[in-house]
Amino acid sequence: MALAWAGPSTMTENPAENDGKTLGEHFMDAWRRLRGRRPVSFYLLFAMLLAVLLGVQIVYVREDPWRFALFLTLNFVFFMAVIIAALLDGIAIMRRSFRERERLFRNTLGEEQFTQQLREHIREHRHNT
């Protein structure tokens, strides 16, 4: 099987399989799929890194108190946003965990048939010993 030229965007094994997307469209589709899997905290951590890099300028603005206060305030805003997002993510994780535990309980010990069979098995085991 030789690769056939399918236009400026992609090369496919069969020219009839070309979906008409350009390389940029494929890249944007991949970027959307990747972005959909990342939590908000990832972007806030990236913003925090950017704020720290931009905050290096705080060393050079000690002579101007207003500019110093502006840079310091921006850094605290980014850090607080990251902390709040981390807390919200933690709460969401705990809620999912509690829901999963409740579902697991209902699927096992919460079913009357299962608990009845468990009681019978325990009674038989006690009588046999």
Q: Assess contact for 39 and 88: CB atoms under 8 A.
A: no
For tokens 């099987």, the residue is 1
Beta-carbon neighbour count of residue 48 at 10 Å?
Answer: 18
Spell out the long-range contacts of 82-87 with Cβ–Cβ below 8 A and sequence spacing 24 or more. Answer: 82/41, 82/44, 82/45, 82/47, 82/48, 85/40, 85/41, 85/44, 86/41
| pLDDT tens across the length of the chain (129 residues) | 454 555 554 455 555 555 678 888 888 888 788 776 667 667 777 777 877 777 677 667 777 888 778 878 877 887 888 788 888 888 988 999 999 998 888 887 777 888 888 888 888 888 876
| Burial readout 7-36 (b: 16 or more C-beta within 10 A, e: otherwise) | eeebeeeeeeeeeeeeeeeeeeeeeeeeee
- Report phi then psi at 45, rounded to 5: -65, -40
Q: What residues does each domain of the chain span?
A: 22-128
According to the model, what pLDDT value does residue 98 have?
A: 94
Sign, Cα dihedral of 69, 75, 76, 81: positive
Q: How many angstroms separate the CA atoms of 114 and 129, rounded?
A: 23
Cα–Cα dist 72/78, whole Å: 10
pLDDT at res. 25? 87
